[in-house]
Amino acid sequence: MKLSFGLSALIGLTLSFHAYGGGNPEFVKFPEKYEQIFTKYDVANRANQTQLAKFYANKIAVESYKKGEEAAPGSVVVMEIYVPKKDAEDKILSGADGLFIIDKLAAVAVMEKRNDWDSAYNADDRSGGWGFALYDPAGVAKTNDLNCAQCHTPLQKQDNLFSFQKLVDYVKSH
């Protein structure tokens, strides 16, 4: 009995290390009060057409892009992911501006750029110096089966950001 319990616990612990997909909250921390101290630079329906996102960047990222440079180490970008409201027929509701009407916050995705990542953070789980993590609305690490780095790596000409142009346009106009 003890052996099977111990083996089950070991398997469960091993699986939990891989449950974060391409993100790792051990290395990419949740930025407390980001919504108060970061710059909100965009709100958009996500490309998957099932969610709405709000995007934030810290001062280091904003200043880097203002200079026309790639994000400097220490840059942090946050994407709040919202579930939209639906009508009685389960169709997503949009406002007059075309944006989905928010029902609730589902998750907070965090990207942090560094040039000194701990060697314990697998390089395959990072992209262009960016590390990733996903959190629930309370800032607690959330498991996911996404491989963040895999989707962001093809965006090297955009500093590995899907919202790169939105952020560049924002900083140029402010």
Per-residue pLDDT in tens (0 to 9) along the chain, 174 residues: 444 444 333 333 333 344 555 578 999 999 999 999 999 999 999 988 999 999 999 999 999 999 999 999 999 999 999 999 999 999 999 999 999 999 999 999 999 999 999 999 988 889 999 999 999 999 999 887 778 877 887 788 998 899 999 999 999 999
- Predicted model pTM: 0.85
> Under 8 Å CB-to-CB from 41, ≥6 apart: which residues?
55, 56, 57, 62, 163, 166, 167, 170, 171
